[in-house]
């Protein structure tokens, strides 16, 4: 098994229903990753250990998903120089997800977190692969193929609509 390049962390097991989309994309494109639960509020020592050791363990980027107050992405970003991608998760205790979005989006100067859409773990996986792919030609080529497939799907849909019309 290859050494993980991307770390995927989430605040609780209930976030896995969303965060697995990042893992699935990375697996599909061949980017090695690790996945675990790290709660900013319930396991702060684990958070500190994870954030402080991430770069020395070979990770290149961290995807952090959290709901509610959603402190996990920002806290891990404060502990590492690696890029952190925050995934706001609409959780059961959430205010329509806005609390999570704003908690991740509104980081103070000096502690940036790239933020994807609410429940946007797949895009977080794509962005993480793009970061890794900027320095790994084989991943970059797989991403180019992925983007070409997206283009072809749209063109196929366009042809279908143009041929069949609106009915």
Closest CA to 129 of 57, 33, 17: 33
What is the rounded CA–CA span in Å between residue 107 and residue 104? 6
User: Was 57 annotated as part of a binding site?
Assistant: no
Residue 42, marked binder: yes
Closest CA to 114 of 45, 63, 51, 38: 63
- Select from 5, 123, 125, 121 the least CA-distant residue to 66: 121
Query: Is 15 within any annotated ligand binding site?
Result: yes
22 within 8 A of 128, measured Cβ to Cβ: yes
| Binding-site residues from annotation for substrate | 12, 15, 42
- Which parts are annotated binding residues? 12, 15, 42
């Amino acid at each position: 098994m290859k050494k993980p390049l991307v770390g995927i962390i989430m605040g609780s097991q209930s976030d896995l229903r969303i965060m697995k989309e990042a893992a699935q994309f990375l697996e599909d494109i061949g980017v090695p990753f690790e996945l675990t639960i790290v709660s900013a509020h319930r396991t702060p020592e684990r958070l500190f250990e994870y954030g402080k050791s991430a770069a020395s363990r070979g990770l290149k980027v961290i995807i952090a998903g959290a709901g509610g107050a959603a402190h996990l992405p920002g806290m891990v970003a404060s502990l590492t120089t690696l890029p952190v991608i925050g995934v706001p998760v609409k959780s059961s205790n959430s205010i329509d997800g806005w609390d999570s979005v704003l908690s991740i989006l509104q980081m103070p100067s000096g502690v940036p977190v790239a933020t994807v859409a609410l429940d946007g773990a797949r895009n977080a996986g794509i962005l993480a692969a793009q970061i890794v792919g900027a320095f790994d030609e084989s991943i970059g080529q797989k991403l180019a193929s992925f983007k070409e497939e997206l283009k072809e799907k749209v063109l196929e849909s366009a042809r279908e609509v143009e041929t069949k019309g609106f009915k």
